[in-house]
Amino acid sequence: MVEQSATLDAVFHALSDSTRRAMLRELAGGEQSVGALAAPFAMSLAGASKHVKVLEQAGLVRRRIAGRIHYCRLEAERLAEAEAWLRYYERFWTKRLDTLEALLKAEDETAERTTPHGGRK
């Protein structure tokens, strides 16, 4: 259980940064070089490489080196593990949203009964 917790911690840490999330989105379309991942952010290769390293440590990205170019590809298995963890809590949100929906419907029905001709105020 400790290993899974450490893995999820690393994944959520990696996902906590908007630049890394954008990089993952790009990688969902296929393998990209670190330079290509850096381009939209006007950041150095060293800066992009630091982000890629965090993604690698979380198991979200695999890097391959061809000469001087580093290519990255998405490893979606860790994302699936994070999704499974979040899915467990989905039932709590669903219940709260269902409760909110029922309250709003009851409020609308009350407003319709108290407004002349069943119209809106």
Owning domain of residue 90 = 78-118
Query: What are the structure tokens assigned to 19, written together?
Result: 């630049």
Q: Are residue 38 and residue 82 in the same domain, yes or no?
A: no
Burial per residue of 48-65, b for 16 or more beta-carbon CB atoms within 10 angstroms, e otherwise: bbebbebbbebbbbeeee
- pLDDT of residue 90 exceeding 90, the answer is no
Over range 48-68, report the average pLDDT.
96
Any idea what the CATH number is for the domain that residue 51 is in?
A: 1.10.10.10
Structural domain count, the chain: 2
Q: From its phi and psi, is residue 65 left (phi > 0), alpha (psi between -120 and 50) or beta?
A: beta
Q: Which three-class secondary structure string do you get for 7-71?
A: HHHHHHHHHCCHHHHHHHHHHCCCCEEHHHHHHHHCCCHHHHHHHHHHHHHCCCEEEEEECCEEE
Q: Are residue 72 and residue 49 in the same domain, yes or no?
A: yes
- pLDDT of residue 2 exceeding 50, the answer is no
Residue 71 or residue 5, greater confidence: 71
Q: Are residue 48 and residue 63 in the same domain, yes or no?
A: yes
pLDDT of amino acid 120: 53
Over range 44-72, report the average pLDDT.
96
Q: Are residue 82 and residue 102 in the same domain, yes or no?
A: yes
pTM reported for the whole predicted model: 0.71
Q: What percent of the chain stands above pLDDT 70?
A: 92
pLDDT of amino acid 103: 84
Dihedrals phi, psi of 76, to nearest 5 degrees: -80, -10
Q: Are residue 27 and residue 64 in the same domain, yes or no?
A: yes
Q: Are residue 60 and residue 9 in the same domain, yes or no?
A: yes
